[in-house]
Structure 1
Amino acid sequence: MKNEMRDLLAEIYARPVEIQNTQSIGGGCINETLLLSLSNGEKVFVKHNDQPPPDFFHREADALRLLGRAQGPRVPQVIGLPKTTSPRFLILEYIEPGNPDGDFHERFAHALAGLHHMSHAFYGFDRDNYIGFTVQVNKPETDPVVFFREHRLRFQQHLARQRGLLPTNVDQRLDLLLNKLERLLNVTGEQPALLHGDLWSGNYFADARGTPCIFDPASYFGLREADLAMTELFGRLPQRFYDAYQEVYPLNPGYEERKKLYNLYHLLNHLNLFGSSYLSSVKSVVNHFV
């Protein structure tokens, strides 16, 4: 893979470029990451995986380019992607991290609201992508409840059912919840909003100037409350973040209750990715509404 990276870097910079230093930055449950120091003085960030789905990094590059066109948080620019049917790595701009000091969280909230103002004619996207390694179905729909019910919750339910991860009683109660979802979601006045799609605390940071940055997207056009809810799933941002968002782009009343529904999508996905340790969290949300 190193030779493949070197060849691609030579193509990007239009001259031979040596990789002088390779620093592992660790990785999550899906990919590994590297910081490369190059002979031309540049640094680049590399995400890699030995066995990704064929279009995995193509879809991430698509999302980053789209996010980069919005008036939202900063995103790393796509520098290079191998011209193969199943690339094993993606080369991105390296953004030097800094400290989220001062009014970072207010600026992050305003930038996220700016991202969410980018809209589209339908909910979904023009192609499927991934949430982790799970396919994320983005079939276009004009009804946001249909989109969220069928292509987010029901799709994950079917996967969990096929894998034997949903006990019958939980599966049946989840069906009851899905059948009444239209009464539980308040979509009054909402338009399809460009979402990051996987906005937990590990997918945002401040750059060296304190500018809010986001990365590792699972983007589509959806209900913006889904992004906000995800920021609360594994710990939450300071309250001033949510207050600042409400000031510039108010939510419909009842978000505090609805956020559990949006996060059910991610809990089901974690159940499918990582197994039964997430079943109790799924049951808790389902039992709350049914």
Structure 2
Amino acid sequence: MSAPDGLTLLRHALARCGDGTPMTDCQAMGTGSGHRLIRVETEQRLYCFKWNPNPPAGMFLAEAEGLRALAETHSVRIPQVYAADQEEYGLGWILMEWIETSRWGEMNWEGLGESLAQMHTWGAGGYGFSGDNYLGAALQRNAWNRDWVQFFAEQRLGFQRDWAAQNGCLPPERARRLDWLIAHLGDFLEGVPRQPALLHGDLWGGNVLAGRAGEAVLIDPAVYFGDREAEIAFTKLFGGFSARFYQAYQSAQPLDPGFHERADLYNLYHLLNHLNLFGEGYGGAVDAILRRYAGLVGTKR
């Protein structure tokens, strides 16, 4: 028996969420990261159907769980999830609310800053999440830990280091500096007052949509409970958000002194992930951060 095609999966997904009304429009919206995206309209509502013929195990179920966790905070707008599954043939899919968008320049950045600050008040008893999930196409480990420095050293930098070694992305000098930094991470991160905060986990411009009224809508999360500084740091890595966003966030929930000195440490996780996914084009940025914090191996500066 052959695997079902996308249209068959779509009909199955609509049935799963109880929409048996006829489809009035169905448009393929392109592909990305191996995913296929379909905009579908029924007599009941508009949907976004995303599927992949061979996704990593549990990817769409993890995405659905993350989106629902963010939605439970009633802060930032999140697409409603109607259903998600991983089929017996390995096919994965998620059926969500379709977001009608406006121009990015019409984004309500102040509203995003305020609502993200509100979301970051949603806490937990430790750092991690209920299960592993995905940062883009990469596995993200989320085993619970009450110690943030240990969590970030092991589940974030340590995991990426081990993967980079397997990928041949760690020449000796880079490996020595990264090992040194992981071992001395507490020297840079300890002593900062923090509480676990619910994070989107992959918050950059590509994962923020401007809704029809200009409201920010967050998509494609890599959710976990972590230090909110890690979230804000990543928003600055690839071009940054509007200054209005940072002003609104800072007014609602000020960042602790020294944040800018710690930001590169948090962004090292994402740069290592890009190094592992996309190659040596990110090696220079990784090395620059390692040199900044570690200096010569064995000499802290």
Select which of 10, 29, 32 maps to 1:5.
Answer: 10
Contact in 1 for aligned 2:107/2:216 (Cα 8 Å): no
Contact in 1 for aligned 2:102/2:211 (Cα 8 Å): yes
Q: Which residue of 2 aligns with 1:171?
A: 175
Count of residue pairs the alignment pairs up: 288
Deviation larger for 83-92 or 237-246: 83-92
Q: Which residue of 2 aligns with 1:53?
A: 56
Q: Which residue of 2 aligns with 1:72?
A: 75
Give deviations 1:138-165, integer Å, cap 9, x for gaps.
Answer: 0100010000111000100000011111
Deviation larger for 169-178 or 204-213: 204-213
Q: Which residue of 1 aligns with 2:163?
A: 159
**Share of identical aligned residues, percent?**
39
Counterpart Cα distance in 1 of 2:171 and 2:159: 16
The AA in structure 1 aligned to 2:117 is A
Counterpart Cα distance in 2 of 1:14 and 1:29: 28
Answer yes or no: is 1:42 the counterpart of 2:45.
yes
Answer yes or no: is 1:248 the counterpart of 2:239.
no
Tell me: CA distance 1:59–1:52, structure 2 relative to 1, closer, same or farther (3 Å).
same
Give deviations 1:60-108, integer Å, cap 9, x for gaps.
Answer: 0000110000132100011122473544211100121124567811110
Select which of 127, 132, 136 maps to 1:128.
Answer: 132
Structure 2's unaligned 5+ residue stretches are 1-5, 295-301
Contact in 1 for aligned 2:29/2:37 (Cα 8 Å): yes
Structure 1 stretches of 4+ with a deviation exceeding 6 A read none
Answer yes or no: is 1:96 the counterpart of 2:100.
yes
Answer yes or no: is 1:283 the counterpart of 2:287.
yes
Contact in 1 for aligned 2:39/2:49 (Cα 8 Å): yes
Q: Which residue of 2 aligns with 1:268?
A: 272
Contact in 2 for aligned 1:81/1:87 (Cα 8 Å): no
Contact in 1 for aligned 2:76/2:115 (Cα 8 Å): yes
Counterpart Cα distance in 1 of 2:151 and 2:34: 26
The AA in structure 1 aligned to 2:11 is R
The AA in structure 1 aligned to 2:12 is D
Answer yes or no: is 1:190 the counterpart of 2:191.
no
Counterpart Cα distance in 2 of 1:92 and 1:5: 11
Tell me: CA distance 1:31–1:99, structure 2 relative to 1, closer, same or farther (3 Å).
same
Give deviations 1:20-56, integer Å, cap 9, x for gaps.
Answer: 4332333433523221122x15220011111102211
SS at match of 2:232: helix
Contact in 1 for aligned 2:38/2:50 (Cα 8 Å): yes
Counterpart Cα distance in 1 of 2:235 and 2:191: 20
- The alpha carbon displacement at 1:205 in A equals 1.8
Contact in 2 for aligned 1:127/1:138 (Cα 8 Å): yes
Structure 1's unaligned 5+ residue stretches are none
- The alpha carbon displacement at 1:176 in A equals 1.1
- The alpha carbon displacement at 1:183 in A equals 1.5
Tell me: CA distance 1:59–1:82, structure 2 relative to 1, closer, same or farther (3 Å).
closer
Q: What's the C-alpha RMSD, in Å, of the aligned pairs?
A: 1.8
Deviation larger for 124-133 or 17-26: 17-26
Select which of 111, 130, 138 maps to 1:107.
Answer: 111
Give deviations 1:99-129, integer Å, cap 9, x for gaps.
Answer: 4567811110011101110000010012111
Answer yes or no: is 1:239 the counterpart of 2:261.
no
Q: TM-score, normalised by structure 1?
A: 0.93
The AA in structure 1 aligned to 2:129 is F
The AA in structure 1 aligned to 2:143 is K
Q: Which residue of 2 aligns with 1:118?
A: 122
Tell me: CA distance 1:92–1:148, structure 2 relative to 1, closer, same or farther (3 Å).
same
The AA in structure 1 aligned to 2:260 is E
Deviation larger for 2-11 or 192-201: 2-11
